[in-house]
Protein backbone atom coordinates (compact mmCIF):
# COMPACT_ATOMS: atom_id res chain seq x y z
CA UNK A 1 0.00 0.00 0.00
CA UNK A 2 1.02 3.60 -0.61
CA UNK A 3 0.76 6.29 2.04
CA UNK A 4 -1.43 9.35 1.50
CA UNK A 5 1.52 11.72 1.49
CA UNK A 6 3.87 13.46 -0.91
CA UNK A 7 7.23 14.04 0.72
CA UNK A 8 10.21 16.29 0.25
CA UNK A 9 13.80 15.16 0.69
CA UNK A 10 16.66 17.00 2.33
CA UNK A 11 19.40 17.10 -0.27
CA UNK A 12 20.91 15.87 -3.50
CA UNK A 13 20.90 12.19 -2.49
CA UNK A 14 18.77 10.13 -0.15
CA UNK A 15 20.16 9.64 3.32
CA UNK A 16 20.08 6.17 4.82
CA UNK A 17 17.39 7.38 7.24
CA UNK A 18 15.24 8.70 4.39
CA UNK A 19 15.65 5.50 2.45
CA UNK A 20 14.53 3.44 5.45
CA UNK A 21 11.55 5.72 6.16
CA UNK A 22 10.40 5.64 2.55
CA UNK A 23 10.71 1.87 2.33
CA UNK A 24 8.50 1.54 5.40
CA UNK A 25 5.94 4.27 4.65
CA UNK A 26 5.93 4.19 0.81
CA UNK A 27 4.80 7.77 0.05
CA UNK A 28 2.59 8.35 -2.97
CA UNK A 29 5.08 10.85 -4.35
CA UNK A 30 8.11 13.06 -3.87
CA UNK A 31 8.51 16.79 -4.52
CA UNK A 32 11.81 18.33 -5.56
CA UNK A 33 13.15 21.82 -4.84
CA UNK A 34 16.25 23.74 -5.86
CA UNK A 35 18.14 22.15 -2.95
CA UNK A 36 17.60 18.77 -4.62
CA UNK A 37 18.79 19.78 -8.08
CA UNK A 38 22.42 19.99 -9.21
CA UNK A 39 22.57 18.18 -12.55
CA UNK A 40 20.49 16.05 -14.88
CA UNK A 41 22.16 12.79 -13.90
CA UNK A 42 21.99 13.64 -10.20
CA UNK A 43 18.23 14.30 -10.33
CA UNK A 44 17.57 11.16 -12.31
CA UNK A 45 19.63 9.21 -9.80
CA UNK A 46 17.74 10.73 -6.88
CA UNK A 47 14.39 9.80 -8.44
CA UNK A 48 15.61 6.29 -9.19
CA UNK A 49 16.74 5.88 -5.58
CA UNK A 50 13.37 7.10 -4.31
CA UNK A 51 11.56 4.63 -6.57
CA UNK A 52 13.83 1.84 -5.37
CA UNK A 53 13.13 2.75 -1.75
CA UNK A 54 9.36 2.58 -2.22
CA UNK A 55 9.73 -0.48 -4.50
CA UNK A 56 7.71 1.08 -7.31
CA UNK A 57 8.24 3.11 -10.46
CA UNK A 58 4.57 4.09 -10.41
CA UNK A 59 4.79 7.28 -8.43
CA UNK A 60 4.36 11.03 -8.73
CA UNK A 61 7.54 13.10 -8.97
CA UNK A 62 6.61 16.74 -8.50
CA UNK A 63 8.27 20.10 -9.02
CA UNK A 64 7.06 23.71 -8.99
CA UNK A 65 7.98 24.79 -12.53
CA UNK A 66 5.48 27.55 -13.23
CA UNK A 67 7.89 30.05 -14.78
CA UNK A 68 8.85 33.53 -13.66
CA UNK A 69 9.44 33.70 -9.90
CA UNK A 70 8.59 30.05 -9.38
CA UNK A 71 11.00 27.86 -11.29
CA UNK A 72 12.97 25.25 -9.32
CA UNK A 73 15.06 24.00 -12.26
CA UNK A 74 16.88 27.01 -13.64
CA UNK A 75 19.10 27.68 -16.63
CA UNK A 76 21.40 26.24 -17.79
CA UNK A 77 19.79 22.99 -16.65
CA UNK A 78 16.39 23.96 -18.07
CA UNK A 79 14.84 26.67 -20.19
CA UNK A 80 14.05 30.06 -18.70
CA UNK A 81 10.26 30.29 -18.53
CA UNK A 82 8.11 33.43 -18.55
CA UNK A 83 5.65 34.19 -15.74
CA UNK A 84 2.06 33.23 -16.42
CA UNK A 85 0.99 36.82 -17.02
CA UNK A 86 3.42 37.05 -19.95
CA UNK A 87 1.26 35.05 -22.34
CA UNK A 88 -1.57 37.54 -22.58
CA UNK A 89 0.78 40.51 -22.28
CA UNK A 90 2.89 39.32 -25.20
CA UNK A 91 -0.26 38.52 -27.22
CA UNK A 92 -1.61 42.03 -26.46
CA UNK A 93 -4.73 40.60 -24.95
CA UNK A 94 -5.47 38.11 -27.74
CA UNK A 95 -6.70 35.16 -25.69
CA UNK A 96 -6.49 32.68 -28.58
CA UNK A 97 -2.88 33.61 -29.33
CA UNK A 98 -1.95 33.56 -25.64
CA UNK A 99 -3.49 30.11 -25.19
CA UNK A 100 -1.61 28.77 -28.21
CA UNK A 101 1.67 30.12 -26.84
CA UNK A 102 0.99 28.65 -23.39
CA UNK A 103 0.22 25.25 -24.85
CA UNK A 104 3.43 25.28 -26.90
CA UNK A 105 5.59 26.30 -23.94
CA UNK A 106 3.97 23.75 -21.64
CA UNK A 107 4.48 20.97 -24.18
CA UNK A 108 8.17 21.89 -24.42
CA UNK A 109 8.37 22.07 -20.63
CA UNK A 110 6.88 18.59 -20.35
CA UNK A 111 9.72 17.19 -22.45
CA UNK A 112 12.29 18.92 -20.23
CA UNK A 113 10.70 17.64 -17.04
CA UNK A 114 10.49 14.07 -18.30
CA UNK A 115 14.20 14.23 -19.16
CA UNK A 116 14.76 14.72 -15.41
CA UNK A 117 12.39 11.82 -14.58
CA UNK A 118 9.87 14.37 -13.27
CA UNK A 119 6.28 13.64 -14.25
CA UNK A 120 4.18 16.19 -12.34
CA UNK A 121 4.23 20.00 -12.47
CA UNK A 122 2.56 22.03 -9.71
CA UNK A 123 1.02 24.36 -12.28
CA UNK A 124 -1.00 26.06 -13.67
CA UNK A 125 -1.92 28.71 -11.12
CA UNK A 126 -5.53 29.56 -11.93
CA UNK A 127 -6.14 31.95 -9.05
CA UNK A 128 -7.87 35.18 -9.98
CA UNK A 129 -5.97 38.15 -8.48
CA UNK A 130 -7.85 41.27 -7.43
CA UNK A 131 -6.58 44.83 -6.90
CA UNK A 132 -5.07 45.33 -3.47
CA UNK A 133 -4.35 41.64 -2.87
CA UNK A 134 -0.98 40.44 -1.64
CA UNK A 135 1.61 40.06 -4.38
CA UNK A 136 2.25 36.38 -3.63
CA UNK A 137 0.11 35.52 -6.67
CA UNK A 138 0.63 38.58 -8.85
CA UNK A 139 2.09 37.66 -12.24
CA UNK A 140 1.87 33.96 -11.40
CA UNK A 141 -1.76 34.37 -12.57
CA UNK A 142 -2.52 34.21 -16.28
CA UNK A 143 -4.96 37.12 -16.22
CA UNK A 144 -7.05 39.37 -14.02
CA UNK A 145 -10.30 38.21 -15.61
CA UNK A 146 -11.79 34.75 -15.24
CA UNK A 147 -12.13 33.97 -18.94
CA UNK A 148 -8.47 34.79 -19.61
CA UNK A 149 -7.36 32.63 -16.69
CA UNK A 150 -9.56 29.76 -17.86
CA UNK A 151 -8.47 29.82 -21.51
CA UNK A 152 -4.73 30.23 -20.98
CA UNK A 153 -4.64 28.05 -17.86
CA UNK A 154 -6.40 25.20 -19.64
CA UNK A 155 -4.02 25.46 -22.60
CA UNK A 156 -1.02 25.28 -20.28
CA UNK A 157 -2.46 22.24 -18.49
CA UNK A 158 -3.26 20.52 -21.77
CA UNK A 159 0.25 21.18 -23.08
CA UNK A 160 1.67 19.42 -20.04
CA UNK A 161 -0.71 16.48 -20.47
CA UNK A 162 0.14 16.24 -24.18
CA UNK A 163 3.68 15.59 -22.96
CA UNK A 164 2.54 13.02 -20.35
CA UNK A 165 3.13 15.34 -17.40
CA UNK A 166 0.44 15.71 -14.76
CA UNK A 167 -0.67 19.32 -14.14
CA UNK A 168 -1.70 20.34 -10.62
CA UNK A 169 -3.89 23.44 -10.70
CA UNK A 170 -3.51 25.84 -7.78
CA UNK A 171 -4.86 26.97 -5.31
CA UNK A 172 -8.45 25.72 -5.11
CA UNK A 173 -10.89 27.36 -4.28
CA UNK A 174 -8.80 30.53 -4.73
CA UNK A 175 -5.80 32.44 -3.37
CA UNK A 176 -6.00 35.56 -5.54
CA UNK A 177 -7.98 37.64 -3.04
CA UNK A 178 -5.70 36.90 -0.06
CA UNK A 179 -4.16 39.91 1.67
CA UNK A 180 -1.28 37.89 3.14
CA UNK A 181 1.27 35.28 2.07
CA UNK A 182 0.22 31.89 3.45
CA UNK A 183 3.88 30.86 3.58
CA UNK A 184 4.23 33.36 6.42
CA UNK A 185 0.79 33.83 8.00
CA UNK A 186 -2.84 32.81 7.67
CA UNK A 187 -4.73 34.92 5.10
CA UNK A 188 -8.37 35.72 5.87
CA UNK A 189 -10.73 36.63 3.02
CA UNK A 190 -13.84 38.53 4.09
CA UNK A 191 -15.63 38.58 0.71
CA UNK A 192 -19.21 37.36 0.57
CA UNK A 193 -20.25 34.02 -0.86
CA UNK A 194 -21.92 35.82 -3.76
CA UNK A 195 -18.69 37.64 -4.64
CA UNK A 196 -16.63 34.45 -4.43
CA UNK A 197 -19.14 32.56 -6.59
CA UNK A 198 -18.97 35.28 -9.25
CA UNK A 199 -15.18 35.56 -9.31
CA UNK A 200 -12.70 33.39 -7.38
CA UNK A 201 -14.52 30.09 -7.88
CA UNK A 202 -15.20 30.59 -11.59
CA UNK A 203 -11.85 29.32 -12.98
CA UNK A 204 -11.94 26.26 -10.76
CA UNK A 205 -15.48 25.38 -11.82
CA UNK A 206 -14.50 25.73 -15.47
CA UNK A 207 -11.37 23.62 -15.04
CA UNK A 208 -12.87 21.03 -12.70
CA UNK A 209 -12.20 18.28 -15.23
CA UNK A 210 -8.42 18.60 -14.77
CA UNK A 211 -6.93 15.56 -13.02
CA UNK A 212 -5.25 17.15 -9.99
CA UNK A 213 -5.42 20.23 -7.81
CA UNK A 214 -3.81 21.80 -4.73
CA UNK A 215 -5.74 23.46 -1.93
CA UNK A 216 -5.36 26.96 -0.48
CA UNK A 217 -4.33 27.71 3.11
CA UNK A 218 -6.80 30.62 3.17
CA UNK A 219 -9.72 31.28 5.53
CA UNK A 220 -12.94 32.28 3.76
CA UNK A 221 -14.96 33.86 6.56
CA UNK A 222 -18.30 33.34 4.86
CA UNK A 223 -17.63 29.62 4.40
CA UNK A 224 -15.74 28.60 7.55
CA UNK A 225 -14.41 31.36 9.81
CA UNK A 226 -12.57 28.86 12.03
CA UNK A 227 -10.31 27.03 9.55
CA UNK A 228 -8.41 27.57 6.31
CA UNK A 229 -9.92 25.91 3.25
CA UNK A 230 -7.29 23.17 3.31
CA UNK A 231 -8.39 21.93 6.75
CA UNK A 232 -12.10 22.72 6.46
CA UNK A 233 -14.41 19.80 5.64
CA UNK A 234 -17.13 22.33 4.80
CA UNK A 235 -14.99 24.09 2.20
CA UNK A 236 -13.48 20.95 0.68
CA UNK A 237 -16.70 18.98 0.49
CA UNK A 238 -19.29 21.69 -0.17
CA UNK A 239 -17.24 24.09 -2.29
CA UNK A 240 -14.31 22.23 -3.87
CA UNK A 241 -16.05 18.92 -4.50
CA UNK A 242 -19.71 19.93 -4.84
CA UNK A 243 -19.93 23.57 -5.95
CA UNK A 244 -16.76 23.64 -8.07
CA UNK A 245 -17.36 20.05 -9.14
CA UNK A 246 -13.73 18.98 -8.82
CA UNK A 247 -13.52 15.18 -8.66
CA UNK A 248 -9.81 14.69 -9.33
CA UNK A 249 -6.81 14.07 -7.09
CA UNK A 250 -6.67 16.71 -4.37
CA UNK A 251 -3.50 17.50 -2.43
CA UNK A 252 -2.94 20.02 0.30
CA UNK A 253 -0.58 22.93 -0.05
CA UNK A 254 2.63 22.49 1.95
CA UNK A 255 2.05 21.43 5.56
CA UNK A 256 5.07 23.50 6.59
CA UNK A 257 3.54 26.85 5.71
CA UNK A 258 2.95 29.16 8.67
CA UNK A 259 -0.71 29.53 7.81
CA UNK A 260 -1.16 26.20 9.60
CA UNK A 261 -0.63 25.49 13.29
CA UNK A 262 -0.22 22.40 15.42
CA UNK A 263 2.13 19.46 15.14
CA UNK A 264 2.94 18.03 11.74
CA UNK A 265 0.98 14.93 12.67
CA UNK A 266 -2.01 17.11 13.51
CA UNK A 267 -1.66 19.06 10.25
CA UNK A 268 -1.50 15.83 8.27
CA UNK A 269 -4.61 14.44 9.90
CA UNK A 270 -6.42 17.76 9.46
CA UNK A 271 -5.93 18.11 5.70
CA UNK A 272 -6.80 14.47 5.08
CA UNK A 273 -9.85 14.59 7.36
CA UNK A 274 -11.04 17.69 5.51
CA UNK A 275 -11.04 15.78 2.24
CA UNK A 276 -7.64 16.05 0.57
CA UNK A 277 -6.45 12.76 -0.89
CA UNK A 278 -2.77 13.53 -0.21
CA UNK A 279 -0.90 15.59 2.36
CA UNK A 280 2.03 17.55 0.91
CA UNK A 281 5.15 18.02 3.06
CA UNK A 282 8.01 19.87 1.43
CA UNK A 283 10.77 20.86 3.86
CA UNK A 284 12.85 17.69 3.92
CA UNK A 285 13.13 18.06 7.71
CA UNK A 286 13.48 14.48 8.87
CA UNK A 287 11.76 14.87 12.24
CA UNK A 288 8.75 16.43 10.51
CA UNK A 289 8.81 13.68 7.90
CA UNK A 290 8.56 11.03 10.61
CA UNK A 291 5.53 12.77 12.14
CA UNK A 292 3.82 13.14 8.74
CA UNK A 293 4.50 9.53 7.78
CA UNK A 294 3.16 8.31 11.11
CA UNK A 295 -0.09 10.22 10.69
CA UNK A 296 -0.75 9.46 7.02
CA UNK A 297 -2.98 6.43 6.40
CA UNK A 298 -2.65 4.13 3.41
CA UNK A 299 -4.26 5.33 0.19
CA UNK A 300 -7.58 3.63 -0.28
CA UNK A 301 -11.10 4.07 -1.60
CA UNK A 302 -11.78 7.09 -3.79
CA UNK A 303 -8.39 8.61 -2.95
CA UNK A 304 -6.63 5.59 -4.41
CA UNK A 305 -8.88 5.68 -7.48
CA UNK A 306 -8.06 9.35 -8.04
CA UNK A 307 -4.36 8.70 -7.56
CA UNK A 308 -4.45 5.98 -10.21
CA UNK A 309 -6.29 8.23 -12.68
CA UNK A 310 -3.77 11.02 -12.13
CA UNK A 311 -0.83 8.64 -12.40
CA UNK A 312 -2.21 7.33 -15.69
CA UNK A 313 -1.63 10.78 -17.23
CA UNK A 314 2.11 10.32 -16.62
CA UNK A 315 2.11 6.91 -18.26
CA UNK A 316 0.66 8.02 -21.59
CA UNK A 317 2.64 8.15 -24.80
CA UNK A 318 3.53 11.82 -25.35
CA UNK A 319 1.80 13.36 -28.34
CA UNK A 320 3.97 14.63 -31.21
CA UNK A 321 4.44 18.39 -31.61
CA UNK A 322 6.54 20.90 -33.50
CA UNK A 323 9.44 21.36 -31.11
CA UNK A 324 11.06 24.08 -33.22
CA UNK A 325 7.85 26.09 -33.19
CA UNK A 326 7.49 25.69 -29.43
CA UNK A 327 11.09 26.76 -28.91
CA UNK A 328 10.55 29.83 -31.08
CA UNK A 329 7.45 30.79 -29.11
CA UNK A 330 9.34 30.48 -25.83
CA UNK A 331 12.29 32.48 -27.10
CA UNK A 332 9.97 35.26 -28.28
CA UNK A 333 8.30 35.46 -24.89
CA UNK A 334 11.58 35.54 -23.00
CA UNK A 335 13.37 37.87 -25.44
CA UNK A 336 10.67 40.50 -25.32
CA UNK A 337 10.46 40.28 -21.56
CA UNK A 338 6.72 40.08 -21.67
**Is residue 183 annotated as part of the catalytic site, yes or no?**
yes
Give me the number of domains the chain comprises: 1
Structure confidence at residue 337 (pLDDT): 59
Which of 183, 209, 322, 336 is catalytic? The answer is 183
Whether 209 maps to a domain, the answer reads yes
Per DSSP, helices labelled H in 10-145 are 16-25, 40-54, 86-90, 95-115
Whether 224 maps to a domain, the answer reads yes
Structure confidence at residue 338 (pLDDT): 44
Q: Is 170 exposed, middle or buried (0-12, 13-18, 19+ CB in 10 A)?
A: buried
Domain around 34 = 15-335
Which of 253, 254, 277, 291 is catalytic? The answer is 253
Whether 292 maps to a domain, the answer reads yes
Whether 271 maps to a domain, the answer reads yes
Whether 2 maps to a domain, the answer reads no
Please name the helix (run of DSSP H) or strand (run of DSSP E) that holds residue 252, with its range, or none: strand 249-254
Q: Is the dihedral of CA 198, 203, 206, 211 positive or negative?
A: negative
Whether 8 maps to a domain, the answer reads no
Structure confidence at residue 125 (pLDDT): 98
Report the CATH number at residue 30: 3.20.20.300
Whether 80 maps to a domain, the answer reads yes
Structure confidence at residue 33 (pLDDT): 98
Structure confidence at residue 186 (pLDDT): 80
- Give the separation between CA 177 and CA 275, rounded to whole angstroms: 23
pTM: 0.96
**Is residue 253 annotated as part of the catalytic site, yes or no?**
yes
Structure confidence at residue 159 (pLDDT): 98
Q: Write the pLDDT tens digit of every residue in 230-248.
A: 999 999 999 999 999 999 9
Select from 64, 80, 94 the least CA-distant residue to 330.
80
- Residue ranges, the chain, pLDDT below 50: 338
Whether 320 maps to a domain, the answer reads yes
Amino acid sequence: MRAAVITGVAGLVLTSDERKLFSESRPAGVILFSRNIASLDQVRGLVADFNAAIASEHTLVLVDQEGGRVQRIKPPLASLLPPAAAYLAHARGDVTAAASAARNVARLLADELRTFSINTDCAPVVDLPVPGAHGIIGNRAFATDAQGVIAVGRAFAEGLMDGAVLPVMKHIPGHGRALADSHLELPVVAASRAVLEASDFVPFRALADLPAAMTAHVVFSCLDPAAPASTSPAVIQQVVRERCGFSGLLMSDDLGMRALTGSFADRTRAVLAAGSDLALHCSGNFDEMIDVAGAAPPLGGLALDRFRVALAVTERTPRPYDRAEAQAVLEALVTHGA
